[in-house]
Amino acid sequence: MTTHVLILCTHNSARSVLAEGMLNHLARQSGHDVCAHSAGSAPSGRLNPFAIEVLNRAGIDTTGYRSKHWNEFTSPDAPALAVVITVCDSAAAEPCPVFFGGTGGPPARVHWGYPDPSHAPGGDEAKRRAFELTRQAIGYRMLQLLALPLHAMGRDALQSALVDIGRR
């Protein structure tokens, strides 16, 4: 049974895309049945080219990635979500729609905030560096998420473990 994880950021163009790419890549590499998705409350309609560049340089295929609205994950035919992660402070502060979990209850939710690398001062090289550092930081947490016994954990235990990961 696939564990579905939704990663939210307001514009779904940078941090949430990095997280979707990293989690899917690491899950495939480690043989975990986890599928990451990303979305936003006000999607920009485009992906930040630096996000795509650093993912591709890390060997991650971004074919088919797009900026999408979180409402795509609220319909009855949407995947049953086990986890919802916000990666930007504005998305964390917004009232989210109701997402449904695999057992009919709500998914575990956590905020793992990262500074927006698209606001890094300097030119293109500074932005590339900021995006790469953000990709690495996100990857570290995604590895910790994948180390959890996701299929064996109840929602409360999962919630607690996700909060612990965010404190590290």
Least confident range of 29-33, 92-96, 120-124? 92-96
Q: Cβ(117)–Cβ(130) under 8 Å?
A: yes
Instruction: Give 54's contacts (C-beta < 8 A, 6+ positions apart).
Output: 18, 128, 131, 132, 135
CATH number of residue 27's parent domain: 3.40.50.2300
Domain count of the fold of the chain: 1
Residue 88 lies in a domain: yes
Does a structural domain hold residue 167? no
Rounded Cα gap, residues 58 and 114, in angstroms: 19
What pLDDT was estimated at residue 129?
97
Residue 98 lies in a domain: yes
Contacts of residue 109, defined as CB under 8 A and 6 or more positions apart, other chains included, come to 83, 84, 85, 86, 96, 159
Write out the residue range of the structural domain in which residue 135 sits: 3-161
pTM: 0.93
Is position 109 within any domain? yes
Note the pLDDT tens digit of each residue in 138-151. 999 999 999 999 98
Q: How many CA atoms lie within 13 A of 108 on its CB side?
A: 21
Is the residue at 148 inside a domain? Answer: yes
